[in-house]
Structure 1
Amino acid sequence: MSADATSLLRHRPFLAFWLARVCTASGFQMLTVAIGWHMYELTHNVLDLGFVGLVEFLPRVLFMLHTGHVADRYDRRKVAALCQSAQCLIAVALVLGASSGNVTREMIFVLAFLLGSARSFEMPTTQALLPNIVPTALFPRAVAASASAMQAATIAAPALGGLLYAFGAFWVYVPTAVLYAIACSLVLTLPSRQQPLTQGKATLESLLAGIRFIRSRPDIFGAISLDLFAVLLGGATALLPVFAKDILLTGPWGLGLLRSAPAVGALLMSFWLARFPIERNVGRIMFLSVGIFGVTTIAFGLSTSFWFSLGVLVVLGAADMVSMVIRGAFVQLETPDEMRGRVSAVNGLFIGASNQLGEFESGLTAHWFGTVPAVVLGGVGTLIVTGAWMKLFPSLAQRDKLH
């Protein structure tokens, strides 16, 4: 193991941050599984499941400008801890409701909105917090290691949540509350900022500063918008149930493996990047990884072999992780600390929109053209966007170093 990787492992503030990320990501994944299953048990209405996701996403749009300003004005450590405490209380409310049998459809919608609101403030805050607790030389490794926490939770936590739910909703909500409480305690051990970076009250000018900053930096705007359009067109997650049942002729277990495969590839790649970070030709490697994402999307759409499809999705997840780590490290390092919260809020909205709208786009094109053509066209669209962005943002494509 390299000296820098060893230094990162010995960096106590980062270890506390990483463990907090594992706890919050696992808690959210378990909570999402339990809430969805609980809602379906109550109403037996598939449309309600879609509304739960929409309600969780809505605060990200409503509070986008304010979340970034809060992250830049107040102690990020305390903001993150407050958000995690709020999510802990949401889990406690579900514990009390499940134990008394008083959980209702309306209650779940309200709690889903509150959960989405807490996460809307937590996400840009924690993203902007990471550069404050690790040296610049270790930051690319820290981004990769932090991403590994999310991917590990994506693989393991949903299965654990489903297993615990078999014993009753109460048995999912209790450990979820504990995980959020642990995360809050860990975040409060991080070094605090002595004074706010953004002074004064929130104004329209200060709230819009993040958007103006991104627009004034072509490389940052190119990196963020590349992810938006590439994932928007290339995402095929929403169609996995159709592939599992009708094309690959497998059952629910096969669908579970297909869903986990991209996260497995991303997790393995994050481990590799944490030890061997990309230090040169970052622009070309980022565009190459997005291109591989598009090619593997096409290959998945054309595949009729379950095991080949599984392998392709692992490669897809690994390629997406390379792009995400480069983009995340580059945007944070190129953004002044006093702007990181607001820039992260805009970036978070782009990522959320690409995922949510990507699922809608996949469903719509599948309805129009069929499932296989929809995925193949999405992969082709990703390749077209990649080529176009290399022409539109030549300095980004030719960029050698992150910072």
Structure 2
Amino acid sequence: MSHRHPTLQVLDAPGVRAFSGGRFFGAMGNIMLTTTIAWHVADVAGRSGDLKDKALYLGVLGLLEFLPVIPCTLLAGALADTHERRDLVIGTRILSLLLALALWAIAGRVVPELFTVLALAFGLSVVRSFQRPAAAAILPNLVRPEIFQNAVAVNSTIRNLAWASGPVCAGVALQFGGVRAAYLSTLCMLIVSLIFWAFVPRIGIALTGSRADLSLIREGIDFVFQRPVILSCMVLDMFAVILAGPRALLPIFASDILGVGSLGYGVLSAAIATGTFLMASLLLFRPPFVRPGRMLLIAVACFGGSAVAFGLSGGIALSVAALVVAGMADQVSMLTRATIIQLSTPDALRGRVNAVNLVFIGASNEFGDAFSGFLAAITTPIFAVVAGGIGCLGLSGGVAATVPSLRQHRAGDGA
């Protein structure tokens, strides 16, 4: 048994270092791409001069990104358990690179530009849905179970650094070089990510002699739905982000409510990731949570409260502060949820269980964007954010009252 700090033990593994590098530059490229697409859609849709057109098409963007999540992710989970996970990640990264190249090529040059961008965004969502389960299932095979929480914290810190810096880089590129320069920057990040992934070791096929079919997919779904702690983790995160996630409306807050332009949009987009990075850095130096379920409930309540503060802030400083707090709460939620799910799942099921988890996450992110955009279109952006935050507070209290097994769950317990 090594006496070195668990975080240093995680970093000793060459496979973890390559994995972390691939995740960092991949996350950097993806968040820059997501930020640029949202600004691109809002910019083209806003040429009519109608704020509701912006909100409507941002909602359409979220809907298009949500539609492939459930079918593609569930199939991808079965593929991740029956194929080499590292090779699946590399293949989907290459496809993402080609779609980003297409976005760069058509920006400002294709009519109808808006619908072409939306179609390519849909394609990107399909590719990412196939990539995520395989990538999520690799880390537990690279470290020992007793230092897995530390491995999650290390990779969260690295990924959140990318998420914090990526939107700022995209905002700078949009401000000084326009949409094409921002897309070109994402291409560079995705290429570097591929280089790192080439050095991630192959871990072998988790479930040999099987094909990715409906019975395998159903086995993963049944595993989740038969375990209340795992299921409540996923449901809680999904509805919290659907209700209180302000991401889709940030272009409107930046340009029309706070009046800070594309550079301010980059700062707002980076604020949540800055909070997650700060919290992940703090978590590197503390022991693992003994009661991760209880911390998850507290984190979701904090996330909802920060959404209310953001919606009512009226100024850039308080808006950024509220989003940073939301990011810190989201990081605690992510770490506790990952610990409960990953350590309660056998390796032969991890691809499929991660796929179910990613369906919930994808539903929260993409469907949440659609929900926010459509609600803002029929009411106001401020109402959509504040009402969602209040709903998130109620959600946390409701789950705490109705699922005591989550509140009482201890690290290492079965689900």
- Give your verdict on TM over 0.5: yes
1:135 aligns with 2:132: no
Would you say 1:194 and 2:196 are equivalent positions?
A: no
Q: Distance in 1 between matches of 2:39 and 2:249?
A: 20
Please show how residues 352-363 of structure 1 align to structure 2 within 5 Å: 352-363=362-373
SS of structure 1 residue aligned to 2:210: coil
Amino acid at match of 1:20: G
Aligned match of 2:51: none
Following superposition of structure 1 onto structure 2, how do residues 87-98 of structure 1 map, counting pairs within 5 Å? Answer: 87-94=96-103, 97=105
Q: Is residue 123 of structure 1 aligned with residue 125 of structure 2?
A: no
- Is contact 2:303-2:326 (8 Å) kept? yes
For residue 30 of structure 1, what is the amino acid of its counterpart?
A: M
Question: How far apart are residue 138 of structure 1 and its match?
Answer: 1.9
CA pair 33-377 structure 1, distance change in 2 beyond 3 A: closer
Question: CA-atom RMSD, angstroms?
Answer: 3.1
| Aligned-pair identity (%) | 37
1:129-154 deviation line (CA, Å, top 9, x unaligned): 11111221221122122223332222
Q: Which amino acid aligns with 2:17?
A: L
Residue of structure 1 equivalent to 2:165: 156
- Aligned match of 2:21: 19
> Is residue 42–residue 104 contact of structure 1 (8 Å, CA) maintained in 2?
no
In structure 1, give the amino acid aligned to 2:245.
Answer: G
Counterparts in 2 of 1:194-343, with a 5 A limit? Answer: 194-240=204-250, 249-252=258-261, 253-304=263-314, 306-343=316-353
* Alpha-carbon distance in 1 for matches of 2:177, 2:309: 40
Stretch moving more, 343-352 or 59-68: 59-68
In the other structure, the counterpart of 1:30 is 32
Q: Which moved more, 1:272-281 or 1:133-142?
A: 272-281
- Tell me what 2:69 maps to: 60
Q: State the AA in 2 paired with 1:14.
A: V
Residue pair 1:198, 1:338 contacting (<8 A) in 2 also:
no
Gaps of 5+ in 2: 49-53
Residue 61 to residue 154, structure 1, CA distance change in 2 (3 Å): same
Tell me the residue number matched to 1:114.
123
Query: How many corresponding residue pairs?
Result: 401
Query: Cα–Cα, structure 1 residues 303 and 48, in superposed 2: closer, same or farther, change >3 Å?
Result: closer
Match of 1:9 in 2: 11
Q: Is the 8 A contact 1:269 1:321 kept in 2?
A: yes
> In the aligned structure 2, how far is the partner of 1:359 from the partner of 1:55?
10
Inter-CA distance 308–167: structure 2 relative to 1 (3 Å threshold): closer
Q: Is structure 2 residue 402 aligned with structure 1 residue 392?
A: yes
Q: Deviations over 1:204-250 (max 9, x none)?
A: 22122221110011110011111112222222334445655776x54
Distance (whole Å) between structure 1 residues aligned to residue 243 and residue 208 of structure 2:
37
Relative to structure 1, is the Cα distance of residues 196 and 254 closer, same or farther in structure 2, using a 3 angstrom cutoff?
Answer: closer
Which deviates more, 253-262 or 218-227? Answer: 253-262
Q: Secondary structure at the match of 2:203?
A: coil
Distance 1:2 1:270, change over 3 A: farther
Residue of structure 2 equivalent to 1:181: 191
CA drift at 1:169: 5.7
Give the deviation of 1:338 after TM superposition.
1.0
The question of whether the paired residues in 2 share the 8 Å contact of 1:94 and 1:103 is answered with no
Shift of residue 267, structure 1, vs aligned partner:
0.8
SS for the counterpart of 1:183 is helix
SS in 1 for 2:284: helix
Question: 1:275 & 1:230 partners in 2: Cα distance?
Answer: 27
TM score, norm. by length of structure 1: 0.87
Distance 1:185 1:267 in 2: 24
1:138 is matched by which residue type in structure 2?
I
The match for 2:81 among 66, 69, 72 is 72
Which deviations, in whole Å up to 9, do the C-alpha atoms of 1:340-388 show, x marking residues without a partner? 1111111112112112333344445556665555434322322221122
Q: Which moved further from structure 2: 218-227 or 1-10?
A: 1-10
The residue matched to 1:113 in structure 2 has which SS? helix
Residues 63 and 10 (structure 1), Cα distance of their counterparts in 2 relative to 1, 3 Å cut: same
Shift of 1:36: 5.0
Structure 2: how far apart are the matches of 1:325 and 1:276? Answer: 13
Do the aligned partners of 1:65 and 1:208 also contact (CA within 8 Å) in 2?
no
Say which SS state the counterpart of residue 336 (structure 2) adopts. Answer: helix
Write the deviation string for residues 7-46 of structure 1: whole angstroms up to 9, x where unpaired: 2222221111111011111122233344456667778575
Q: Distance in 2 between matches of 1:363 and 1:53?
A: 8
CA contact (8 A) 1:140 1:274 kept: no
The answer on whether the counterparts of 1:76 and 1:129 sit within 8 Å (CA) in structure 2 is yes
Moved more, 125-134 or 346-355: 346-355
**DSSP 3-state at the match of 1:275:** coil
Task: Say whether the 8 Å CA contact 1:24–1:179 is kept in structure 2.
Answer: yes
Aligned residue number for residue 354 of structure 2 = 344
Deviation for aligned residue 1:156: 1.9
Superposed displacement of residue 66, structure 1: 0.8
* Structure 1 residue 113: Cα displacement: 3.3
